[in-house]
């Protein structure tokens, strides 16, 4: 069964600093996709970043980047120059073609950016 593990239930960071959220996953498939979603307090969940497993280059979206280590099955999210608006729950998710055919989410990391 595919699993996604986020080992940090809560994290905090000072405004303007950099923070890294951890995610590991388990799959026996070779073709899969990884995602980070953000859920701000009382607001809708939105996609932060998406990575295709066959692409070796790490995905980036402005201040958000990932460190994708395929052999280690690790997919961490780095937020640079943290802003107050980055305060949110962050969920790592994984989808394997040929696997369960479902998007599997981790339990989430609550990130607080302090002024």
Partner 1 sequence: DVKVTQSSRYLVKRTGEKVFLECVQDMDHENMFWYRQDPGLGLRLIYFSYDVKMKEKGDIPEGYSVSREKKERFSLILESASTNQTSMYLCASSLGLAGVNEQFFGPGTRLTVL
Give the footprint of partner 1 on this chain (CB under 8 A): 9, 33, 35, 43-47, 50, 91, 95, 97, 101-103, 105-108
User: Rounded to 5 degrees, what are φ and ψ at 62?
Assistant: 60, -115
Nearer to partner 1, 14 or 31 (CB): 31
Smallest distance from partner 1 to CB 1, Å:
10
Query: Any idea which residue has 């497993």 for tokens?
Result: 53
Nearest approach, Cβ of residue 104 and partner 1 (Å): 8
Nearer Cβ to partner 1 (3/17): 3
* Residue 101 backbone class (left: φ over 0; alpha: ψ -120 to 50; beta: rest): left
CA-derived radius of gyration, the chain? 14
Q: Which is nearer to partner 1, 94 or 113 (CB)?
A: 94
Residue 21 beta carbon to partner 1: minimum distance, rounded to whole angstroms:
14
Residue number with CB closer to partner 1 (16 or 45): 45
> Do 33 and 49 contact (CB within 8 A), yes or no?
no
Coil, helix or strand for 85?
helix
């Amino acid at each position: 069964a595919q699993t996604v593990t986020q080992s940090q239930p809560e994290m905090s960071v000072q405004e303007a600093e950099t923070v890294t959220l951890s995610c590991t996953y388990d799959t026996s498939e070779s073709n899969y996709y990884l995602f980070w979603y953000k859920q701000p307090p009382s607001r809708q969940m939105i996609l932060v970043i998406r990575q295709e497993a066959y692409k070796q280059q790490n995905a980036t979206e402005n201040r958000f980047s990932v460190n994708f280590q395929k052999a280690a099955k690790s997919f961490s999210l780095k937020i640079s120059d943290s802003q107050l608006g980055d305060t949110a729950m962050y969920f790592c998710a994984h989808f394997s073609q040929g696997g369960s055919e479902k998007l599997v989410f981790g339990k989430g990391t609550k990130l607080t950016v302090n002024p």
